Structure 1
Amino acid sequence: MSSTSDAMSDLNSGAPAPLDLSAGNLEDQIYHRLREALSSGRYKPGQSFTIRSLAEVYGTSPMPVRDALKRLAAEKALDVLPNRSVVVPLMSRARFQEILRVRLSLEPAVAATATELIGLEDIHRMAEDDRRMRQALADGDPKQYLALNQHFHFRLYSAAHSVVMMPIIENMWMQVGPYLHELFAASRGMQSSTEHHAELLQALRRKDSAAVAQAVHKDLADAADVVIASNHFAGDGGNPRK
């Protein structure tokens, strides 16, 4: 997880983020780094960059970068433009709400299953993620906050060992991740998230699957309310910020 965050930070700062040339396919490495970075809100809707800039960051030729970006474009996470630049797409309000309905159906269900399977060590790690999120909030560090938020949720969901629902959840997070920046701009969004995470951790320790599912549902719904209120959508009268 940290390699993705480093890569996206490096893209913005210009610092090198070399790939492990001995670890296998370069295209796959770039694909997974960018995929997780999108899920954790490293990019904002409308943000753009070039294939060449990514190739420079990763120390590769443009070809593996271009191939990785094509895969992400096929998954609706990025738009590759004819001028060889790439943009994080603005989605319509209707698309965001449709994704939300899928998430509200799947994520609480996966969380309920995970409640019976997750170990104490992972619960401790989730509590540490939550503590660090609160610190990132106090420090005014949205990138750290959003990355930890993703880690918090995915530690829980991964414990369910779902081979069907987990890939769908991962894809949904990749598409909505760029919109999570709106949470940091709205104090009520942050307050709701910390409250729901505390409720979730308490329910996990009790092995109360219904309460865990409810906390996840409230967390997703309240976050979505903040994003929808921001009106940062394409094609329906919103006023997107680049």
Structure 2
Amino acid sequence: MNKTSPLNITLTDRKAGVTITEWVYDVLRHAVMCGQILPGRSLTLRELAKVLEVSPMPIRVALKRLSSERALEVKENRRIIVPTMTAMKFNELCETRISLETHAAIRALPYVDSVIMAQLEALDDNIDYGGELASMESNITHNHAFHRMLYTANPHQISLPLIESLWLQLGPFLRLSNEKMQGHFAIDRHKEALIAIRQKNPLALQLAIAADIREGFAFVGTPELLHQFLEESAESSQ
């Protein structure tokens, strides 16, 4: 497996009041979540420090934090890699996403007011626009923002950190799966979710969120296709 495939990490501007360590963590977290780093890719302090133009110390802190969130894996020789995937783990991550996110959506439903609704509609518009431009990173970012906006409408929610941990673990496969997703979104599930929210219909919202997640990986809907996808993912990292 190629340990030195290119790193195309998006470097955002560091806002006032944000420390170097926080910025490094945010940049690397976004890179993993958006599939900018391939599964099996080894990461070194020196390489990342050069790409981000920072000292190794904030890199070390960020990598330790990301490994605790299962976004990265520390091997016995202290080598750090983006974890590879098994079919059973992949299915478990997807089904857990559905369980947690449908729960979070239903719990948030009573708290969605006109302001939050307008923000959800704007985010959905951005996803549609991003899709037209074939911008995977924009699409993924706005999709996460849509779900995050909905779930955090509930002021008592505690599930978002768990949900984002699942996004991180699935993130490296989004880039590899993007070209296979074409044609699997004939129905806009976010539009269905917005209609369910307007109608205050928890069952319809649950079904829309579950379908949105499941259809994101519809191309691996059988065990054979899933194994084939994971084999192709491994080959892409070689």
- TM-score, normalising length: structure 2: 0.80
Structure 2 CA distance for partners of 1:155 and 1:57, relative to 1, 3 Å: same
For residue 233 of structure 1, what is the aligned residue in structure 2? 230
For residue 172 of structure 1, what is the aligned residue in structure 2? 166
- Map 1:56-71 → 2, pairs under 5 A: 56-71=50-65
Residue 110 of structure 1: how far off its partner (Å) = 0.6
For residue 3 of structure 2, what is the aligned residue in structure 1? none
Q: 1:43 aligns with which of 17, 34, 37?
A: 37
For the 8 Å contact 1:115–1:209, the answer to whether it is kept is yes
Structure 2 CA distance for partners of 1:46 and 1:238, relative to 1, 3 Å: closer
**Greater fraction of residues in helix:** 1
For residue 214 of structure 1, what is the aligned residue in structure 2? 207
Tell me the C-alpha RMSD between the 2 structures: 2.9
Q: Cα deviation per residue 1:141-168 (whole Å; 9 max; x = unaligned)?
A: 1111111111111111111234532211
User: Residue 63 of structure 2 aligns to which amino acid in structure 1?
Assistant: L
Cα distance in 1, alignment partners of residues 146 and 181 from structure 2: 20
Cα distance in 1, alignment partners of residues 155 and 35 from structure 2: 24
For residue 203 of structure 1, what is the aligned residue in structure 2? 196
Structure 2 unaligned blocks of 5 or more: 1-6
- Map 1:60-99 → 2, pairs under 5 A: 60-80=54-74, 86-99=80-93
SS at match of 1:143: helix
For the 8 Å contact 2:73–2:81, the answer to whether it is kept is yes
User: Residue 219 of structure 2 aligns to which amino acid in structure 1?
Assistant: V
The more displaced of 157-166 and 111-120 is 157-166
For the 8 Å contact 1:40–1:150, the answer to whether it is kept is no
For the 8 Å contact 2:196–2:204, the answer to whether it is kept is yes
Structure 2 CA distance for partners of 1:102 and 1:23, relative to 1, 3 Å: same
Structure 1 unaligned blocks of 5 or more: 1-10
Q: 1:114 aligns with which of 108, 112, 116?
A: 108
Identity of aligned residues (%): 30
For the 8 Å contact 2:11–2:27, the answer to whether it is kept is no
User: Residue 12 of structure 1 aligns to which amino acid in structure 2?
Assistant: N
Q: Cα deviation per residue 1:168-195 (whole Å; 9 max; x = unaligned)?
A: 1111111112222314432123434xx1
Structure 2 CA distance for partners of 1:123 and 1:18, relative to 1, 3 Å: closer
For the 8 Å contact 1:142–1:184, the answer to whether it is kept is no
The question of 1:189 aligning with 2:184 is answered yes
How many pairs are equivalent? 226
User: Residue 209 of structure 1 aligns to which amino acid in structure 2?
Assistant: P
User: Residue 226 of structure 1 aligns to which amino acid in structure 2?
Assistant: F
For residue 101 of structure 1, what is the aligned residue in structure 2? 95
For residue 150 of structure 1, what is the aligned residue in structure 2? 144
Cα distance in 2, alignment partners of residues 197 and 143 from structure 1: 18
Cα distance in 2, alignment partners of residues 150 and 68 from structure 1: 21
Structure 2 CA distance for partners of 1:84 and 1:29, relative to 1, 3 Å: farther
- TM-score, normalising length: structure 1: 0.79
The more displaced of 85-94 and 118-127 is 85-94
SS at match of 1:233: helix
SS at match of 1:187: coil
Structure 2 CA distance for partners of 1:166 and 1:104, relative to 1, 3 Å: same
The question of 1:159 aligning with 2:156 is answered no
For the 8 Å contact 1:112–1:212, the answer to whether it is kept is yes
Residue 74 of structure 1: how far off its partner (Å) = 2.7
Residue 100 of structure 1: how far off its partner (Å) = 1.7
User: Residue 148 of structure 2 aligns to which amino acid in structure 1?
Assistant: F
